[in-house]
Amino acid sequence: MIDVDALVDRARDETGLGDFGDDTVGQRVKLVVDVVNESGLDAKGEAAAVATIFGLLTSRLQFFGDRKRYPLADEKIVRPVFVTGEPRSGTTLLHALLAVDPNARALRFWEVMYPSPPPGMASPDDPRRARADDDWRAILRRIPPWIVSHPFNDALGEGLPECERTWAFDFRSMVPSIWWRVPMLMRPVLPQDYGVQYGIHRMMLQHVQYTRPQRYWVLKGWHTRRLAVMFDTYPDASVIWIHRDPVPVIASQITAFGQINECLAGSLDWDTWARSQLETARYSILANLDDPLVDDPRVHHLRYPDFAAAPVDTIRDFYRKYGIPFTAETEIAMQRWLADNPGDRHGKFVYSTDVLPESVAALNAEFAPYRERFGLDQRL
């Protein structure tokens, strides 16, 4: 059995640091250990879990140690842009295009995987870059279908993490890019405290921005159920929320995320998985209809068909609405990125509504209010 207290003590001893920034983090580590123990791992799998937990603990100690060593809290985060929407609705492509704007800054995987010392102080040959590249090669060996369903992973350590990745060492996120070494299903079992989480998110932006020129941030995550706290943290933020017909979105989610879980755990009960994923998506999608912040003027809604047809033009409209300069260099960078990164460059991701545990007709009827609210045509 994994001894949580021994891991915490070892992390403190090996780093020479004692402040985790939160006295409750050990409670969440215990919840993670419960998940590990319930997964029936062998000795090799348990050792991988211990190494992962220990790495997160030491990273957290170093992160908060840096905040005492450097004036990171003085960094101003001004007018960040958040991309959001349901997974598999075009959010990653939208984020990738925003991130090539030379006036913007986006988080990189190597920065959030190994944030200490502050990445702005790193040299071009900082070994953390190569280490994150190697990590991503290992991830893709473990999950071969992921490069097809998510071709953006070919950027390796320079890739664009979702905002949820900043909550890794707070033990509120169990995404595959943290836990790929451990042979178990990824389950959203950890308690959420949005105020604390966005506080850490802001700290990460300050950490990465330190010593670098001021630019506005472009970020991406599943913020749709967290808008109130996100705007409390970043009152001058703007949100670009992309909407796609829920039925193909859910079918794509079941297939893509199921492939990841199957590769990680070695097997998957696809029927149970499909029902679980549908329930998660159903709650998220329909809850948006009752959120008053959906109509907040800081939120810009974008139809997926419009974005797919003319991605750069739709981004230009967003820039114009919020007074963000759209320069010639910005357009050239976005058009070049599109030309150099076709979506099927690692093979075509294929999914079908056959994976849905309920009939397409019933789901079309259920999600009709969502399609009507956001101006979507029924596609299936």
Q: Tally the domains of the chain.
A: 2
Polymer length in residues for the chain: 380
Q: Looking at the structure, tell me whether residues 18 and 141 fall in a common domain.
A: no
- Residue 110 in domain: yes
Q: 37-61: string of b/e by CB count within 10 Å (b at 16+)?
A: eebebeeebbebbbebbebbbbbbb
- Residue 378 in domain: no
- Residue 245 in domain: yes
Q: What is the pTM of this model?
A: 0.96
Alpha carbons 232 and 291: distance in angstroms, whole number: 16
Alpha carbons 173 and 195: distance in angstroms, whole number: 15
Which tokens belong to 77?
Answer: 């985060």
Instruction: Determine the straight-line distance between the first and last CA of the chain, rounded to whole angstroms.
Output: 49
Q: Looking at the structure, tell me whether residues 227 and 284 fall in a common domain.
A: yes
Which tokens belong to 354?
Answer: 């056959």
- Residue 100 in domain: yes
Q: Looking at the structure, tell me whether residues 38 and 81 fall in a common domain.
A: no
Within its chain, how far is the Cα of 125 from the centroid? 26
End position of a domain, from candidates 69, 104, 128: 69
Q: What is the CATH number of the domain that holds 272?
A: 3.40.50.300
Contacts of 144 (CB under 8 A, 6+ apart): 263
Backbone angles phi, psi at 303, to 5 degrees: -80, 130
Q: Looking at the structure, tell me whether residues 41 and 102 fall in a common domain.
A: no
Range of the domain at 48: 1-69
341-375: pLDDT as tens digits: 999 999 999 999 999 999 999 999 999 999 999 99
Alpha carbons 145 and 262: distance in angstroms, whole number: 10
Q: Looking at the structure, tell me whether residues 59 and 201 fall in a common domain.
A: no
End position of a domain, from candidates 69, 85, 112: 69
Alpha carbons 64 and 80: distance in angstroms, whole number: 23
Contact in structure between 174 and 20 (CB atoms under 8 Å): no
Quote the Cα angle for 368-371-377, to 5°. Answer: 105
Backbone angles phi, psi at 279, to 5 degrees: -65, -40
90-107: pLDDT as tens digits: 999 999 999 999 999 999
Q: Looking at the structure, tell me whether residues 135 and 195 fall in a common domain.
A: yes
pLDDT for residue 30: 94
Q: Looking at the structure, tell me whether residues 179 and 64 fall in a common domain.
A: no
- Residue 177 in domain: yes
pLDDT for residue 349: 98
The secondary structure of residue 347, as a DSSP letter, is B
The residues of the chain scoring below 70 in pLDDT are 188, 378-380
Q: Looking at the structure, tell me whether residues 64 and 81 fall in a common domain.
A: no
Q: Looking at the structure, tell me whether residues 44 and 103 fall in a common domain.
A: no
Alpha carbons 309 and 223: distance in angstroms, whole number: 25
Alpha carbons 346 and 36: distance in angstroms, whole number: 33
Q: Looking at the structure, tell me whether residues 11 and 125 fall in a common domain.
A: no
Instruction: Specify the 3-state DSSP secondary structure of 296.
Output: coil
- Residue 380 in domain: no
Task: State the amino acid at position 71 in one-letter form.
Answer: P
Q: Looking at the structure, tell me whether residues 172 and 104 fall in a common domain.
A: yes
Q: Looking at the structure, tell me whether residues 65 and 81 fall in a common domain.
A: no
pLDDT for residue 188: 66
- Residue 319 in domain: yes
The secondary structure of residue 358, as a DSSP letter, is S
The secondary structure of residue 249, as a DSSP letter, is H
Listing DSSP states for 22-52 in one string gives -TTHHHHHHHHHHHHHHTT--HHHHHHHHHH
End position of a domain, from candidates 26, 41, 69: 69
